[in-house]
A and B are shown apart, each in its own frame.
Chain A
Amino acid sequence: MKKTILRTLLIASVAAASALVTVQVSAKTFIDDAGRSVQIPDSAQRIATLHDSVLTIPLLELGIFPVASHGRVSASGVPFIRGSKGLTGYDFDNSAIIFVGSSPIDIEKLASVKPDLIITTPWQKATLAQLETLAPTVVLDYNKRSRSEMFAAIAEITGSQAKLAILKGRYQQQISRIKRIVDTKKIKVNVLQASKGKLIVWNSYFNLGKVLRDSGFEFPELVNNIESGERVSFSAENLQELDADYLFVTYRTDKKHTPDDAIEALEAVVPNFCNFLSACKEGRMMVMPREEASSNSFTALSIIAYNVLTHISGKPYLKNN
């Protein structure tokens, strides 16, 4: 009798424990970027993503709707998933995704959506100790992973590698098209941005940098010397060393800026800058929106690839009679 009770208790507690940790019996092990080994339920249904642009958008592009997401709040108090409306079409207001706060997210709000898997980043302030009490929690660190590695990890965790392969194939096709039409090895490019008396240059400016580097374009030496993934604020005195055959300058559409704002900022750093930059003087400096250039998204990569190709190889055609 006693034995039976003990056994029942044991089974019950094991069942309870496993129900808490994994929900489903079948699970795979994933070593996350905090070095933890996490048991991930094979068919997690209620995923919560704790970084909008880095995690939520990739998840949506892989065809999975998170049950809850981190987001930002606009000046007028409306929460949004940054960059999502323009890239995936989805946001808090037109989907079932629940807004759980920014950093730190509201842990109680997250608890109330009953997630079965949480994906977070080291940037999120809510601690692992707290998150783990709600559901298995995976940490993905975008300082350790490139953007494509980020995508790969999210695909592995959610079992959507097939969809990722399709997205990658599309991107490869776009890059090979650039390589076929433009002799990229012979063209030097650079992306710059002016701010408060400095010229800000990344080794590789997110999507725009990735497309340019993957296509095989050359960069100024000063830019190649920047550590990969990092950026440098250069003195205005370095302006001419940052010149290239094609220059890309970005402005923020989400803040309702216009190309004029980008030019004005450059002008403030170096008066008459255009006279001292061959790309600008000869009409090979492109001013383009920053959102697509900097989001973690295959849709954005497509847009950028198309733009780069058009800017560099596209020609106004005038028939000479």
Chain B
Amino acid sequence: MASKTINITLKIWRQKNANAKGSMETYKLDNVSTDSSFLEMLDQLNEQLINERQEPIAFDHDCREGICGMCSLYINGEAHGPDRAVTTCQLHMRKFKDGETIYIEPWRAKAFPVIKDLVVDRSAFDRIQQAGGFVSVNTSGRTMDANAIPIAKVDADKAFEAATCIGCGACVATCKNSSAMLFVSAKVSQMALLPQGKVEATQRVLNMVKQMDEEGFGNCTNTGACEVECPKEISLENIARMNREYMKASLKS
């Protein structure tokens, strides 16, 4: 790893709380190692702010290895920044140039209200899951043997790919309509592709879509930006599959 350091200017959204009016603030940060992750750069800025007796910037993060889905950030106009197939915590400063100005904003969507600075409320996603993102099987362990129903590898693999969604909300933040279709369709697809999920498929898709609409997410107009920015590269095919599932379910019910 050829390590070097860069000096950068940051323009960051600051907002005291949900009701306060926010604004973009400017910060200078020197000696940022290009081996640092983007969030380590923010740690460094916060350390600097604390040493200057200023309030550090609030941002969501946890696992820092791209799997928990907690980190967010709209960086230079892109969800999770300029790199592809990564979350913000996996973005590294080697993607930026010395002297560059970097703009950092929170996810912007009606259904994701700002809590503070760069932190937003994504509990709408939880409520969509609660509306139907499950198989109604009790946790007795007394189900059938795991190998009782063979599942074609191609279906299992597709279900897995859909299931790798980390629920970060980049799809919503990226979409000009703030649509949650990629997120919802990933869960609908995972279940629809597996025999275990087929029994409740009709109710599931209707309930999840209903909840999605009630949360204030917009509609899908097939722009495809969500797929480009998705850190897990969830495919648009899932939206097509959900539309088919929804159509089938609407005709049945």
A and B together in one complex: no
